[in-house]
Chains A and B, each alone.
Chain A
């Protein structure tokens, strides 16, 4: 099996050692801050998000490869914004007139989404699925009437399946490329991909559920130890300060 995308990368970096709860809160804070951020601080945050990704061994090429489908989504967001926002037309071609205001707004929204994706990637690459499950469960525990253990399990399992689904996408695409599907149109390829992908994903999910059951999987289990130390509190304070700074700028 080839190396999995969007999965945990074993390591011992500063971010690997941070408490999963701090990383999760940090991701939430960054997501909120980006909604209020302007372009300059947003670019600063983007740079700050890229550095730790490089430090854990993800090269720019690999990051671009991992996010290639996400960039398609960003392109559509950018195009929709630049074409639908009223303002001064940049140019006009066959009835299509992107505006200056729309282009700037499209860039801003795309950067915001990209930053959230990068922060999510950092969380996923440095945190084990079961640590995320434990963190969600612990953070939700004080909230009344919320089945925190079950929500933790659901999130943990969902995250666990993402690399598996992406692996299936690659395998199915390889099998189809081997039979010359590249000569066909985009929508044909998409429909031919989705049906076997769904079937194989469901089959794999079934096999994994059986394997987990065979090893006594239950909602109540010994979760990974989460210990917030000085380093974690300092990181949290840093995240709060940066986000506050970004919002105020």
Chain B
């Protein structure tokens, strides 16, 4: 069953340049999709259409069959988003408050909010940090906090915009583990990156973008042969003809 359908999406910025052009993309429930492309290829612009932060000038985005524009609140509840810069995503003054921010906006009762926050913190291993100031967390912990916020909203689709940028090796492993746990729990994962090495071993599908368009889409082992033509480096092991290994192995 398709959880996300994008039909003929084009987005033009104020200056007249296109952020996205003629995008067609469908994602099955539970699929793990990596969208790769160089800087400026339109990845972030595309992601922002998934929960109505941007609206297409042409085309439609449907989440579980319903156009995003018809019910923005539903789309934002169903599509959880982790932004590239986690600092600008932190709203609460404590870790607990930040995770509670989304459920409070959904006007849930206090008991349900407390239950959801406790579950989300436990699933992301942040329970011990509940009373801490989020700005003092490490990079990996901040991303896990954003994931906890998404879990507390009960999002169906987890969208990650360059989740590994500015992270050290342990941070990458922490975040990757959290993403895989979401995937195992049945969530649909959509992740953008220009660094395939860290995540491609786990993806079901690789979508390549260049100049605002989708230029390749298919199983990673096939699409990866084309990545360097479009400014995305192939993983070392793939270049050497080896098998791609997980960063967690």
Binding site for B on A (CB under 8 A): 1, 3-4, 7-10, 128-130, 160, 204, 207-208, 210-218, 220-223, 225
Query: Shortest distance in angstroms between B163's beta carbon and chain A's nearest beta carbon?
Result: 15
Residue in A closest to B51 when the chains form the complex, CB atoms: A214
Instruction: Give Cα distance in the complex from A9 to B136, angstroms.
Output: 12
A-B contact pairs, 14 of them (CB 8 A): A1-B135, A3-B136, A7-B133, A10-B93, A10-B132, A207-B85, A210-B83, A211-B83, A212-B91, A213-B53, A215-B76, A215-B91, A215-B102, A217-B105
Chain B 70-121 residues near chain A, CB threshold 8 A: 73, 76-77, 81, 83, 85, 87-89, 91-94, 97, 101-110, 113
A164 to B106, CA, bound (A): 26
Known: A10-B93, A214-B81, A216-B102. A4 touches B135 (CB 8 A): yes
Least distance between A199 CB and chain B CB atoms (Å):
15
Decide: A222 and B109 in contact? CB cutoff 8 A. Answer: yes
> Which of these, B88, B105, B133, B153, contacts A221 with CB under 8 Å?
B105
**Which bucket holds chain B's interface residue count?**
35 or more
Closest to A3 in B: B136
Asked if B58 is an interface residue, CB under 8 A from chain A, the answer is no
Residues of B within 8 A of A7 (CB): 93, 133
On whether the beta carbons of A215 and B105 are closer than 8 Å, the reply is yes
Provide the bound-state CA to CA distance between A211 and B76, in Å. 11
A8–B107 CA distance with the chains assembled, in angstroms = 24
A12 to chain B, nearest CB (A): 9
* Alpha-carbon distance A160/B109, docked complex (angstroms): 24
What mask results when residues 58 to 69 of chain B are scored 1 for a CB within 8 Å of chain A, else 0?
000000000000
Cα distance A221–B104 when bound, in Å?
A: 6
CB distance from B139 to the nearest CB of A (A): 10
Q: Which of A9, A216, A225 contacts B73 (CB 8 A)?
A: A216
CB neighbours (8 Å) of A215 from chain B are 76, 91, 101-102, 105, 149, 153
Q: Decide: A10 and B91 in contact? CB cutoff 8 A.
A: no
Q: How far apart are A158's CB and chain B's nearest CB, in angstroms?
A: 14
A1 near B97: Cβ-Cβ < 8 Å: no
**B106 adjacent to A211 (CB under 8 Å):** no
> Is B236 on the interface with A (CB-CB < 8 A)?
no
How far does the Cβ of B94 sit from chain A's closest Cβ, in whole Å? Answer: 5
For B149, list chain A residues within 8 Å (CB): 215
Q: Given A215-B105, A216-B73 in contact, is the A4-B85 Cβ separation under 8 Å?
A: no
Check B131 for interface membership: any CB of A closer than 8 A. Answer: yes
A-B pair number, CB within 8 angstroms: 83
**CA gap between A8 and B110 in the complex, in Å:** 22
Chain A contacts for B88, CB-based, 8 A:
204, 207-208, 211
B104 to chain A: which residues have CB within 8 Å? Answer: 130, 221-223
Which residues in A have their C-beta under 8 angstroms from that of B92? 128, 130
Taking CB atoms, residues of chain A closer than 8 Å to B153 are 215-216
B94: chain A residues at CB < 8 Å are: 8, 10, 128
In the complex, what's the smallest C-beta–C-beta distance from B137 to chain A, in angstroms? Answer: 9
Find the A residue at minimum CB distance from B85: A207
Question: Shortest CB–CB separation between residue B143 and chain A, in angstroms?
Answer: 13
For residue A7, which residue of chain B has the nearest CB? B93
Q: Which of B103, B131, B132, B133 contacts A4 (CB 8 A)?
A: B133
- State A7–B92 Cα separation when bound (angstroms): 11
* A102 CB to nearest chain B CB (Å): 42
| Residues on the A chain within 8 Å of B131, using CB | 10
Residues in A whose Cβ lies below 8 Å from that of B106: 216, 222
Evaluate contact between A207 and B102: CB separation under 8 angstroms: no
CB distance from B216 to the nearest CB of A (A): 28
Instruction: Using CB atoms, name the residue of chain B closest to A207.
Output: B88
Name which residue of chain A comes closest to B106, CB basis.
A216
Alpha-carbon distance between A160 and B107 when the two chains are bound, in angstroms: 21
* Smallest beta-carbon distance A156→chain B, Å: 11
Question: Contact between A128 and B91 (Cβ–Cβ < 8 Å)?
Answer: no
The chain A residue sitting closest to B95, CB to CB, is A10
Q: Which are the 3 A-B pairs with shortest beta-carbon distances?
A: A207-B88, A8-B93, A216-B105
Contacts of B113 in A (CB 8 A): 222
CA separation between A4 and B97, bound complex, in Å?
17
Chain A's closest residue to B54 (CB) is A210
- Beyond A8-B93, A215-B153, list 19 extra A-B contacts (CB 8 Å): A8-B133, A10-B94, A10-B131, A128-B97, A207-B89, A208-B88, A210-B53, A211-B89, A212-B91, A213-B53, A214-B53, A214-B81, A215-B91, A215-B101, A215-B149, A216-B106, A221-B104, A222-B106, A222-B113
